[in-house]
Amino acid sequence: MNKPSGRKINIGICGLGTVGGGTLALLNENEAEITQRVGASLCVSHIASRSLNQDEVIGIPQSGKDPFAVVNDPNVEILIETMGGYEPAFDVIKNALLNGKHVVTANKALIAERGNELFEIAESEGAVLAFESSVAGGIPIIKALREGLAANKINWLAGIINGTGNFIMTEMASKQCRFEEVLNQAQALGYAEADPTFDIEGIDAAHKLTILSSIAFGIPLRFDGTYTEGISTITPEDIRYSDELGYCIKHLGIARRSKKGIEMRVHPTLIPRSRLLANVDGVGNAVLVHGNSVGATLYSGPGAGAEATASAVVADLIDLARHSIAGADKPVYPPLGYKQMLDDIEIVDIEDIEAEYYLRIPAMDRVGVMANISSILQSYGISIEAVIQKEAISKIVPIIILTHRAEERKLNLAIKAIESLDDVAEKINRIRVEPFDETEL
């Protein structure tokens, strides 16, 4: 059996919270296995944390509160950034790259919004910025897209990429609870932050979708082009009516290549109950990718948590250690999978997409209401696939309509016209529908 070379690679960790602490624990727990895989010892020699607990860093030669002390130490070969946020994380990563250090980060917001700049610096310095842990926790979706599916032209991808949102939608469906009630439960269980905005409004998922879209389609990171819509308007009634129609509601990130350009959108979505994504519940994550050669492939597993995310961080760390041992003077593959990015491809505005739609229309219980609604939809070229008309609640009748495929701009005009009818009592609730054709699954 070949024994490790005796080479030691010094690692610095900036940020020792949930992910950083999990990374340190995993490196210690699986030290022998990792050394055998790499052929060298990965030694955490430096740690910086704002709230440093000395009990956590026993045996680590250098520890303190200043991340730049780690960044500027020439003995550190690879830096792990698990601080989160924008500042000082951006400057920490930037300066580490400028110092010629390879960097591993779990910071999806920073990659999505400022990654183009950081990757440019990394390339100019011959360094690698690795970020597998920034999307879907322990699911190796970035490697799958960038390397495993590199021979394919990616047609579309759709993912449950925020565990908090998926937990809320799952609980609302199984217990017929209202959104606010389940959100409180998610916070009590530690699945949702005290300020849950990033999760429930889709911002966290939009950061992740931006990264996945760039790798899938070879476009620069365009967070500003990702449409984002949250789940707070979904009601138990919508979930119940969707179920009657054979669908469930999931908070999805969807990216698609179309004749108009690239669609990037995060929003509640009706999907048929028979589809693979429909069966991913709780805090789990899953990404469905459709390539022109391989067809549809599904990647699922734990999308968050110390152990799952640390697994992805250490996987990147192992890759970078191998890179260093090989003495490669430049990265083997482009960070976003394409040597030449498509700078001029159009990002499709949400009003220009085409989809099927679920409409819940609270109408007065009067003769002729349905005829008026149908007439308006028809005038905008929108045809109806299915209708459910429920019993009156007081004087209001919920009318549920599924449309055939239509342009969103036209649907918005139709909704505005329907809401102006005297017979329509309140705002219409609209949810996009993605059937994911059988031939693609």
* Closest C-alpha to 417, from 366, 382, 389: 382
Angle between helices 408-419 and 369-379 (to 10 degrees): 150
Is 359 contained in some domain? yes
pLDDT of residue 2: 52
* Shared-domain flag, residues 90 and 232: no
CATH number reported for the structural domain that contains residue 412 in this entry: 3.30.70.260
The two tokens of residue 298 are 């599904």
Strand residue runs (E) in 221-366: 227-228, 247-258, 261-272, 284-291, 295-302, 354-364
* Shared-domain flag, residues 172 and 213: yes
CATH number reported for the structural domain that contains residue 55 in this entry: 3.40.50.720
Is 189 contained in some domain? yes
* Shared-domain flag, residues 95 and 42: yes
30: three-class secondary structure by DSSP: coil
pLDDT of residue 304: 82
Is 438 contained in some domain? no
Q: Just list the catalytic residues.
A: 208
* Closest C-alpha to 340, from 219, 175, 256, 166: 219
* Shared-domain flag, residues 145 and 247: yes
* Shared-domain flag, residues 287 and 365: no
Contact 54, 62 (CB under 8 A): no
294: three-class secondary structure by DSSP: coil
Question: Mind listing the pLDDT tens digit of every residue in the chain (441 residues)?
Answer: 455 557 899 999 999 998 999 999 999 999 999 999 999 999 999 999 988 776 677 778 888 889 999 999 999 999 999 999 999 999 999 999 999 999 999 999 999 999 999 999 999 999 999 999 999 989 999 999 999 999 999 999 999 999 999 999 999 999 999 999 999 999 998 888 899 999 999 999 999 999 999 999 999 999 999 999 999 999 999 999 999 999 999 999 999 999 999 999 999 999 999 998 999 999 999 999 999 999 999 999 988 888 999 999 999 999 999 988 988 777 788 999 999 999 889 999 999 999 999 999 999 988 889 999 999 999 999 999 999 987 766 788 899 999 999 999 999 999 999 999 999 989 999 999 998 864 444
* Shared-domain flag, residues 125 and 235: no
Is 241 contained in some domain? yes
Is 344 contained in some domain? no
* Shared-domain flag, residues 199 and 54: no
CATH number reported for the structural domain that contains residue 179 in this entry: 3.30.360.10
* Shared-domain flag, residues 17 and 31: yes
Is 341 contained in some domain? no
* Closest C-alpha to 357, from 267, 237, 257: 267
Is 258 contained in some domain? yes
* Shared-domain flag, residues 377 and 420: yes
Q: Are strands 295-302 and 284-291 parallel, antiparallel or unpaired?
A: antiparallel
Q: How many domains does the chain have?
A: 3
The two tokens of residue 170 are 């799952």
Q: How far apart are CA 197 and CA 193, in angstroms?
A: 8
| CA-to-CA separations, 184 to 179, 230, 283, 310, in angstroms, rounded | 9, 16, 15, 27
DSSP 348: P
Boundaries of domain holding 372: 350-433
Angle in degrees, CA 59, 65, 67, rounded to 5: 95
What single-letter amino acid sits at 180? E
220: three-class secondary structure by DSSP: coil
Write the CB contacts of 81 (distance below 8 Å, at least 6 apart in sequence): 14, 15, 89, 92, 93, 96, 103, 104, 105, 106, 107
Burial of 231 (C-beta count, 10 Å sphere; 0-12/13-18/19+): buried
Tell me phi and psi for residue 311, to 5 degrees.
Answer: -55, -45
pLDDT of residue 437: 66
pLDDT of residue 374: 96
Angle between helices 306-326 and 31-38 (to 10 degrees): 30
* Shared-domain flag, residues 58 and 131: yes
* Shared-domain flag, residues 114 and 169: no
Is 339 contained in some domain? no
* Shared-domain flag, residues 132 and 40: yes
pLDDT of residue 3: 54
